[in-house]
Chain A
Amino acid sequence: MNPATSYQQPSARGYYGEFGGAFVPEMLYPNVEELRTRYLDILADPTFQAELNQLLRDYVGRPTPLFEAKRLSAKYGTRIFLKREDLCHTGAHKINNTVGQILLAKRLGKKRIIAETGAGQHGVATATVCALMGLPCVVYMGAVDMERQAPNVARMRLLGAEVRRAESGSQTLKDATNEAIRDWIANPVDTHYIIGSVVGPHPYPDLVARLQAVISEEMRKQLLEQTGTELPDYVVACVGGGSNAAGAFYHFLDEPSVRLIAVEAAGHGVDSGHSAATSVLGKPGIIHGSRTLLMQDEHGQITEPYSLSAGLDYPGIGPLHAHLGASGRAEFVAITDDEALAAVAELSRFEGIIPALETAHALAALGQLGAGPQEVVVVNLSGRGDKDLETYLKNLDKLI
């Protein structure tokens, strides 16, 4: 194995260390195999790259700014930069992946798109690119999430997508993913499943990580321009499944001087019984076709995670992140609901930016880094807070 690429690239069967693989029933095997055998060639094709880059620039609005947050920096006594993924079209990093996957789906000859969504950001990003390409789109969303992220449900419908309620289990992201997978089983030939995170069977974790890697690619160039060096001391990102963290970490994975901080949702507290801190509470297991860290009971039944944020309450994490944690390459931090809400208020007041609740978990970790005044910290500002306004209004006492 080439150590220079060992963290970025999974093995031929999709393993990052002991995590990954493709644990799918036979009904899914041909779909997953078609994707596995073709995705690298399609991604490397110059016409694909040209089309992708043009859409990223003209439609998504890339490159996104890297903004030095000076008031926040003064407060924490270090140099803090915000990678403004919240300024992407549709309000989060999710569209980096969906633009790439819709182009991939077209090259695979697919006529119909399905997706799962938790907070609704990935669903909106998928519905958006389906509208752009004129493809029918079905988004599965947990019934509970449809309630707490109602504006995104409305957005998806306005964009022409059909939003189907997932009413099994906890009625959140895990169950929406189950339903999307079942749809794919029932529609194996004409449908492409756009997974929204670095989860699922190989090659999805690698595919999504590659499509999100533009985040760290831009960071390196922007840091060189703004600080004189490409490498920061810290990169901080929140992790549910882990797509924005994968993108923010990707081009720093094999730069050992850069500390990678993955921030999970502690919910009411890691030991409260109401948490989504998978790296602490999970054991190796299989979810959605991937061997990874998984929250489960002693009999291997998957348990229900909790976080106030609908984008982080996933009982697993991407296999790349499980490996980064197990190998010590990334450090995991857990942030409670209340700490995240305080960080929402702080960024809003200090920098005039209202972050998404998921992103606020990453911001809330700033106080725990111990970064020095000469050090450079990049926080991936993965999404904006518009979708969370209702939650913020309900918690105004914690915000003001």
Chain B
Amino acid sequence: MNRIAQAFASKQNLLNTYFTAGYPSLHDTIPLAKALVEAGADILEIGMPFSDPLADGPVIQGSSTVALANGMNLPVLFEQLKELRTAVPTTPVLLMGYLNPVMQFGIENFLKRAAEVGVDGLILPDLPLDEYEEQYHALFQQYGLKAVFLITPQTSEERIRRLDALSDAFLYLVSGPGTTGGTTLPDAEAQQQYFERIAGMNLKNPRLIGFGIADKAGFDRACQYANGAIIGSALIRALDGADDAPAAAARFVRGIRQA
């Protein structure tokens, strides 16, 4: 069983934490990964910073700007990730980022390097589904990498079923309209109906809810409708200005995990 399936099989209410590689300091990537997992994170999503992150709100945009100024890029990241499986042997790790830096690195080269360092899956929000299906699905499989797709309140049932069929990791439920960190459906009832609608579809993949989940209350609420939740912007905010970023990350996760 792969690490992603193993994580979902062994536990309920999974906490997936997102952080931007190279933020707050260039070499925080591995120490942060280790601290997050030791404090109770179940899945790690490592952001590959991009100059123009269209799906991200101000917090992740800001962390990306800092990370790029610190000198983060894909060759540096893959060099750092050689330590990944020493630091976190069993935790599923996903790389999240935009297509253009991956294209310039070379998609096949990227998949090869990701597989070599022990990455489990990829979230590339601006990779069109048709292109993924026709050009890259087989290549992802060849390298043993899982694709994670986003679903929003506007995604049609037909499309959700297609995304579910093409994925064998988990589905990423975007909590409402908006970019990372910012969404709250104006109508909590509409959001609940959306979560329940997806929960009732009998999809083969587990589901994590993300965007705008900031604290324990938000995490607990998301867990009522899915297999867990993804927290990104709130974690980045907790790292902002911290003297010891791994310690701040661990404190943040313990705050979510407290009984």
Contact = CB atoms under 8 A, between A and B. Distances in A.
Given A21-B128, A186-B178, A26 B150 contact: yes
Contact of B179 (A182, A288, A299): A182
B126 A286 contact: yes
B178 A185 contact: yes
B167 to A, nearest CB: 12
B8 to A, nearest CB: 21
Interface in B166-190: 174, 177-179, 182-183
Contacts of A182: 54, 57, 179
A174 B51 CA distance: 11
A8 B154 CA distance: 32
Q: Which of A24, A26, A168, A185 has the largest number of chain B CB atoms within 10 A?
A: A26
Contacts of A187: 177
Given A26-B149, A187-B177, A287-B52, A302 B126 contact: no
A9 interface: no
B104 A188 contact: no
A269 interface: no
A169 B179 contact: no
A287 B179 contact: no
Contact of B54 (A25, A29, A188, A300): A25
Contacts of B131: 21
B125 interface: yes
A178 B64 CA distance: 15
Interface in B95-123: 98-105
A395 B130 CA distance: 51
A188 B177 contact: yes
Interface in A168-203: 168-169, 174, 178, 181-182, 185-189
A174 B100 CA distance: 15
B55 interface: yes
Chain A interface, >50% SS class = loop
Contact of B51 (A27, A186, A302): A302
B203 interface: no
Nearest to B126: A23
B156 A26 contact: no
Interface in B41-84: 50-52, 54-55, 57-58, 61, 65, 68, 73-75
A25 B61 contact: no
B165 to A, nearest CB: 16
A285 B52 contact: no
Most buried by B among A23, A27, A283, A301: A27
A111 interface: no
A23 B155 contact: no
Given A23-B128, A26-B149, A299-B104, A188 B99 contact: no
A13 B159 CA distance: 17
A289 interface: yes
B68 A301 contact: yes
Interface in A277-321: 283-289, 294, 296, 298-303
A26 B174 contact: yes
Given A26-B149, A26-B152, A298 B127 contact: no
A301 B50 contact: yes
B68 A300 contact: no
A186 B104 contact: no
Given A25-B150, A26-B150, A300 B155 contact: no
A21 B130 CA distance: 11
Nearest to B55: A25
Most buried by A among B55, B68, B182: B55
Interface in A193-229: none
Given A21-B131, A185-B54, A189-B177, 8 more contacts: A26-B151, A30-B156, A174-B52, A186-B179, A188-B177, A285-B100, A289-B54, A299-B74
List of 8 A-B pairs having minimum Cβ-Cβ separation, nearest first: A300-B104, A300-B101, A25-B125, A26-B150, A299-B73, A30-B154, A301-B51, A186-B178
